[in-house]
Amino acid sequence: MHVPDGFFTAAVSISAGAVAAAGTAVCLRGARRELDDRTAPMAGLVAAFVFAVQMLNFPVLPGMSGHLLGGALAAILVGPYTAVLCMAVVLLVQSIFFADGGLTALGVNITLMGLVTVLTGWGVFRLITRSLNGRAAITAASFAAALVSVPASALAFTLLFWVGGTAPIEIGTVAAAMGGVHVLIGIGEGLITAVTVATVLAARPDLVYGAHGLAAPLVLRGPDGDVTVVPEREERVTAPAGRSRPFLLAGVGVTLVLAGVVSFFASGDPDGLEKVAEDEGFLGQATDHAFGSWLLADYGDVGGIPVGVTGVVGVGITLIVAGAVGYAARRRDREAGREGGREDVTV
């Protein structure tokens, strides 16, 4: 789904850039409600993980592949506002350092792969988990959210291209092709998302933003010393307290293995957008990337660098940038402790 330069007119590219910039600014402010000193490092880890898994194209149909978009996954793990920031960082790093996704199309890509996937995925996830609860419900909702977010993004691209693409299209034909192909890719996205969320739930459910409503009950210590237990939902996800560093280090290790080793086995077939564009006759509208001659361009193909090496470099850059954004956007722990004039203790 990485849109290259040349697919959209200047007017649409600028408009999408304005939407992406405004949406990111709103999310930068909103992330303060989702992040604190303890959870801010998760923003860096989630962004780096999305970067790594996006390198792992998987076969969908003969001659066509797909890869994770990651918006729904990020929203479930770190919250919708922070998820948009993570996706923006991933797409920015990919575009500038790896010539993956056009520079003039950066606003389009953030809008489609960041805003649309996060809003759609989070909406579906919340709709399901408001009626059902427990680990199984969260995992199932994660699958459904990710599955729906992918064709939603693909159909948003089709509509945008119909409005301001650089080539005429039959919107019905292209919408059917893009929607159908990306439903199949969405199944893969749903499986990856569900497995990832279930794994984090099993290890550290307190670090899954989407499970906060199912966290262990709170103990409120009032000024008179009384202890009041505030029940949550009937079925709860136990949130073990503990240091986050071991989990984060393990997550970074897994991410490095995916980018540095598993990436060698990724499918080399064109992804869904590229295949549909080729079949429908508008792939030729793509223009060369301004940084297409850089050593890291196309994940090392230009400079002859092994893909695993470029993957590790990309993970490092993404981890640093997204982690810095997460810390900048976080709510300070002491500010969180003053909210409501009470101390919350997990039991």
| DSSP helix/strand/coil, 59 | strand
Residues 333, 36: contact at Cβ < 8 Å? yes
pLDDT value, residue 223: 58
The token pair that represents 305 in the structure block: 């660098």
3-state DSSP assignment of residue 218: strand
Distance CA 73, CA 148 (A): 12
Return the bridge partners of 221, or none. 227
Three-state secondary-structure class, residue 107: helix
Domains of the chain: 10-215+238-338 (1.10.1760.20)
Side-chain-side CA neighbours of 262 within 13 Å: the count stands at 15
Query: Contact, 165 vs 213, CB < 8 A?
Result: no
Distance CA 139, CA 125 (A): 10
| Alpha-carbon gap, residue 39 to 96, rounded angstroms | 27
**Tokens 């960082």, located at residue:** 89
State the pLDDT at residue 21. 98
Beta strands per DSSP E along the chain: 58-61, 64-66, 218-221, 227-230, 344-346
State how far the Cα of 75 lies from the Cα of 110, in Å rounded to an integer.
Answer: 15
Tokens of 72: 């729904």
Q: Residues 19, 11: contact at Cβ < 8 Å?
A: no
Q: Which residues contact 119 (CB under 8 A, 6 or more apart)?
A: 80
DSSP code per residue over 297-325: GGGGTTTT--HHHHHHHHHHHHHHHHHHH
Beta-carbon neighbour count of residue 72 at 10 Å? 37
What Rg do the C-alpha atoms of the chain give, in angstroms?
21
pLDDT on residue 42: 95
pLDDT < 70 stretches in the chain? 1, 213-242, 332-347
Q: Which residues contact 83 (CB under 8 A, 6 or more apart)?
A: 46, 71, 74, 75, 77, 114, 118, 122
pLDDT at 274: 96
Count of beta carbons in the 10 Å neighbourhood of residue 331 = 17
Say which DSSP state 112 is in: I
User: Which pLDDT score is estimated for 38?
Assistant: 83
pTM metric for this prediction: 0.89
pLDDT per residue as tens digits for the range 280-338: 999 999 999 999 999 999 999 988 999 999 999 999 999 999 999 999 998 765 454 44
Task: State both tokens at 34.
Answer: 């989702």
Residues 19-48 have pLDDT tens digits of 999 999 999 999 999 998 888 999 999 999
Helix (H) or strand (E) holding 272: helix 272-280
Write down the pLDDT at residue 332. 62
